[in-house]
Amino acid sequence: MDMIFNIKENILVAELFGELDHHAAGKVREDTDSAMETYGCRDLVFDFTRVTFMDSSGIGVILGRYRKLSAAGGRVAITGCSLTVRNILNMAGVFSLVDYFDTRDEAVNYLNRKEVS
Amino acid sequence: MEKILKVQMEAVLENQGLARAVAAAYASELDPTVEELTEIKTAVSEAFSNAAIHGYPGDMSGSVTMEIATIRPSTIMIKISDQGVGIEDIAQAMEPLFTTDTGDERSGMGFTVMESFTDKIKVDSRPGEGTTVTLIKKLDTYYDF
Ligand SMILES: Nc1ncnc2c1ncn2[C@@H]1O[C@H](COP(=O)(O)OP(=O)(O)OP(=O)(O)O)[C@@H](O)[C@H]1O
Ligand SMILES: [Mg+2]
């Protein structure tokens, strides 16, 4: 699975490409964590628009980042999930901890806004 | 039972995508919807990764066997087995959020995903002997002859 990182102020936008399974999850975790550190970001947006497949490994990746970041006052948001991906994340109650947005801009705007208040 | 396909793969996570692709190729011939195909791939992915990760922990090596058959018109059965460590308490293992692997960011949702994406799941396991997960999935037919 490939990833592209975009930085918008304190927010890291991680765009995922391809299939997110237990095999790919390790690298996604590592790359995301090291990008957060390298660029000194506080919040994280996972963009799932280009994800063609996801199993329960995605739950662990998202909740793992949520735990890490929320301990440091950061937040995680998700955008671009297919119906099946949303369904899987819902089973684990991910959306009670992490906000979902229809577009990447909405996610970024939300995180920016919350920062000001 | 018709059209039996049996494949044996090395129990490494690198083969997870291959296991999904084989199951999807088989199921494609039964004219599934896109959603059904995704559900089959996801369930297989969960069963295979469990065999590779939990069935053969640490340095243990082994193989995973996947057997697919059409048991009724438009009903597919997928059996995924390992000869690994087995499961002590199957009912507990299948509970949502239950995982024995807390250090590695596992969610304990694999069995729950398999259950909700198939019509029937059966788990046979014995400590020290291995685990077999049997998944049954009915494909929607839009017409009956
Ligand atoms: N083939 C297997 N051999 C041995 N133990 C297994 C096997 N499959 C599952 N288990 C046990 O059942 C537990 C629950 O499995 P399940 O797939 O639901 O969650 P998980 O694999 O721990 O997490 P996730 O799949 O969400 O990453 C596992 O933690 C493991 O202890
Ligand atoms: Mg699992």
Extents of the domains making up chain B = 4-138
Note down the domain range covering A87.
15-31+40-101
Could you tell me if residue A54 is inside a domain?
yes
The residue whose CA has the least distance to atom 28 of ligand 1 is B99
- B4-138: which CATH number, 3.20.20.70, 3.40.50.620, 3.30.565.10, 3.60.20.10? 3.30.565.10
Which ligand is nearest the CA of A25, by number? 1
Global ipTM: 0.91
% of chain A exceeding 70 in pLDDT: 97
List the one residue out of B14, B15, B11 whose CA is nearest residue B53: B11
C-alpha A64/C-alpha A68 separation (Å) is: 6
Place of tokens 């909405």: A106
Provide the CATH number for the domain around residue A67: 3.30.750.24
Is residue B105 classed as helix, strand or coil in its secondary structure? Answer: coil
Q: Which atom, in ligand 1's list, is nearest to the CA of B84?
A: 3
Could you tell me if residue A3 is inside a domain?
no
Place of tokens 């790919």: A24
Q: What's the total number of domains in chain A?
A: 1
Whether residue A115 is predicted with pLDDT greater than 90 in this model: the reply is no
pLDDT tens digits, one per residue of A89-113? 999 999 999 999 999 999 999 998 8
Could you tell me if residue A110 is inside a domain?
no
List the one residue out of B54, B5, B59 whose CA is nearest residue B29: B5
From the list B45, B52, B107, the residue facing A92 with the nearest CB is B107
Q: Return the axis-axis angle of helices B110-117 and A83-91, rounded to nearest 10°.
A: 130
Question: pLDDT tens digits for chain B (145 residues)?
Answer: 888 999 999 999 999 999 999 999 999 999 999 999 999 999 999 999 999 999 999 999 999 999 999 999 899 999 999 999 999 999 999 999 999 987 778 999 999 999 999 999 999 999 999 999 999 999 986 555 5
Instruction: Identify the residue among B45, B104, B115 best suited for mutation to test binding to A, counting A beta carbons within 10 A and taking the highest.
Output: B45
Q: What is the pTM of this model?
A: 0.94
Instruction: Classify residue A58 as exposed, middle or buried by CB count within 10 Å of its CB (0-12, 13-18, 19+).
Output: buried
Amino acid letter for position A85: V
Q: Do B42 and A55 touch (CB under 8 A)?
A: yes
